[in-house]
């Protein structure tokens, strides 16, 4: 993939309006009365007096922030091997399942093609070499090279990734590296100046400036079932190669990791988006401590409140997250949240949208206790909730779930299909995200009947089979999947979880 395609982009039309501010004129207007031609007193409102005290912000000097951050932003270069396999003879896949049942097939002929090269940016967060970047920058990379601002280069390894937030943690072996101080993304205000620091188009150590255009923006670019999108939107120029770079405030503090742009062409067209540092800190802390992100969930299906929804459900507010469904054995169910409730506050922090709710809950771990304010029948209630993980327990998880690794959602097999094929059990693949099922070539509609010779009757059976394979103590952690498609074609797949 060409380097210019590494930064994720959105197909959006963007209208940018330039506004010019005359500093001296504004100051004069604030400090003196302005009388119009008919003699009326047109003194500016009292609020402008406050503005006069901060009017110097218009003349902000960005050099300090740039100097404090530029040395801690690195250039990340990756190489990903691509192989095309051509099978001789019968053409059976070279996987353990077919070898077990049909014997050893002819060895595939592998045709090597040149390494796929790409690049992005990263932010040094510890003197001993921990670096934050985007997951899509290092995803599936075989080699990672990091170049510092002083031109030193290091080989890096992936410590952990979180596709749900598009954040990854990598590390180089070095000491006394320059770092960026973490700031507070919660305190960012719309209209506040920020700087984007990164390596667009392989142009190293590039700094651009803009303002915060919006917060908690959900733009639907993360392809994950437990995604958290609450981006900081800015108009700082960001281009392919900026992915994983720093968004800093005027004090040079890290407030976000630049991740995406809104563009029709793949290049900057007005707006860019960054993961707030409040999310980044939680993800990085979990990866370093547990090896995997500890994701807490309420166990509800939620949606933003529109005018249409408010009228349909007779809601008195347009702010908050509407609860469309409450999952069984969930934290929300146990706490008493019901379908039709509107969640407006998490631990004292107002949430006005689904994105803001996801951002707040995403800061906690399974077992954490929080308070949730809801509106039910036009009356406010406050509930105490002990958060749980996706499996419905309060324990910390030591590995990723089957859904995260395999990338599938499932549903019960219809009675019609059961009758048609004489099935007593089975689970149908409803949809696929990026994961090992899609990588293996499995398509939606495939009915999983057995995994490692164990009958599959529910999604829980898939998780049990996955956990058993992951924790079996063997080097080869393989899922042997047997099933069929609705056209009656029986297929067998072998998925190596160790790869």
Tell me the β-bridge partners of 145: 77, 155
Name the DSSP class of 89. T
Which residue in 331, 421, 310 sits closest to 384, CA to CA? Answer: 331
Q: How far separated are the first and last CA of the chain, in Å rounded?
A: 22
Q: What angle do CA 52, 53, 57 make, to 5 degrees?
A: 90
Taking Cα atoms as reference points, which of 331, 476, 455, 450 lies closest to residue 389? Answer: 331
Q: Determine the Cα–Cα distance for residues 264 and 17; give it in Å rounded to an integer.
A: 18
CB of 230 within 8 A of CB of 279? yes
Take residue 228 and report the two structure tokens written for it.
């958290």
Q: How many CB atoms lie within 10 A of CB 20?
A: 4
How far CA 53 is from CA of 30, 183, 188, 192, in Å, comes to 10, 24, 19, 15
CB 352 within 8 A of CB 318: no
Interhelix angle 47-54/23-31, nearest 10 degrees? 140
Q: Number of C-alpha atoms within 13 angstroms, CB side, residue 406?
A: 30
Torsion of CA 187, 189, 193, 196, to 10 degrees: 60
Token pair for 170: 């990598």
Q: Which residues contact 434 (CB under 8 A, 6 or more apart)?
A: 163, 223, 224, 407
Active-site amino acid positions? 136, 166, 243
What three-state secondary structure class fits 229?
A: coil
Which tokens is 74 given? 């690195």
Question: Quick one: 55 exposed, middle or buried, by C-beta within 10 A (0-12, 13-18, 19+)?
Answer: middle
Residue 344: HSE in the Cβ half-sphere, 13 Å Cα cutoff: 17
């Amino acid at each position: 993939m060409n380097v210019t395609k590494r930064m994720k982009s959105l197909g959006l039309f963007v209208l940018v309006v330039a506004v010019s501010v005359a500093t001296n004129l504004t100051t004069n207007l604030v400090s003196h009365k302005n009388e119009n031609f008919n003699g009326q007193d047109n003194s500016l409102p009292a609020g402008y007096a406050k503005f006069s005290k901060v009017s110097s912000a218009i003349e902000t000097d960005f050099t300090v922030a740039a100097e404090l951050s530029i040395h801690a932003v690195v250039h990340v270069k990756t190489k990903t091997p691509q192989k095309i396999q051509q099978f001789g003879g019968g053409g059976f896949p070279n996987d353990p399942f077919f070898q077990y049942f049909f014997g050893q097939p002819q060895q595939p002929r592998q045709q090597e093609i040149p390494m796929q090269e790409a690049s992005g940016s990263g932010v040094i967060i510890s003197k001993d070499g921990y670096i934050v970047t985007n997951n899509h920058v290092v995803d599936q990379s075989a080699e990672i090279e990091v170049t510092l601002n002083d031109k030193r280069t290091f080989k890096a390894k992936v410590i952990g990734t979180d596709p749900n937030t598009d954040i990854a943690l990598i590390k180089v072996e070095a000491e006394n590296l320059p770092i960026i101080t973490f700031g507070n993304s919660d305190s960012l205000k719309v209209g506040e100046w920020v700087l984007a620091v990164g390596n667009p188009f392989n142009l190293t150590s590039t700094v651009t400036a803009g303002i915060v255009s919006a917060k908690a923006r959900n733009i639907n670019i993360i392809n994950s079932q437990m995604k958290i999108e609450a981006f900081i939107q800015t108009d700082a120029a960001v281009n392919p190669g900026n992915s994983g770079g720093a968004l800093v405030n005027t004090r040079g503090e890290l407030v976000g990791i630049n991740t995406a742009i809104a563009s029709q062409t793949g290049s900057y067209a007005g707006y860019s988006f960054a993961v707030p540092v409040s999310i980044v800190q939680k993800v990085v802390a979990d990866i370093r401590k547990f090896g995997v992100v500890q994701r807490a969930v309420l166990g509800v299906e939620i949606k933003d409140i529109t005018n249409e929804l408010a009228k349909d459900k007779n809601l008195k507010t347009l702010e908050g997250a509407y609860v469309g469904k409450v999952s069984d054995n969930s934290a929300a169910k146990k706490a008493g949240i019901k379908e039709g409730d509107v969640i407006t506050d998490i631990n004292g922090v107002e949430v006005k949208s689904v994105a803001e709710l996801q951002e707040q809950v995403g800061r906690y771990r399974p077992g954490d206790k929080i308070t949730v304010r809801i509106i039910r029948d036009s009356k406010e209630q406050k509930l105490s909730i002990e958060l749980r993980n996706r499996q419905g327990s309060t324990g910390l998880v030591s590995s990723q779930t089957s859904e995260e690794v395999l990338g599938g959602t499932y549903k019960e097999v219809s009675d019609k299909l059961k009758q048609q094929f004489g099935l007593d059990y089975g689970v149908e693949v409803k949809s696929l995200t990026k994961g090992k099922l899609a990588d293996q070539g499995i398509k939606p509609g495939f009915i999983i009947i057995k995994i490692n010779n164990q009958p599959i009757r529910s999604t829980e059976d898939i998780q049990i089979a996955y956990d058993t394979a992951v924790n079996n103590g063997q080097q080869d952690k393989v899922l042997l999947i047997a099933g069929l498609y609705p056209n009656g074609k029986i297929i067998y797949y072998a998925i190596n979880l160790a790869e």
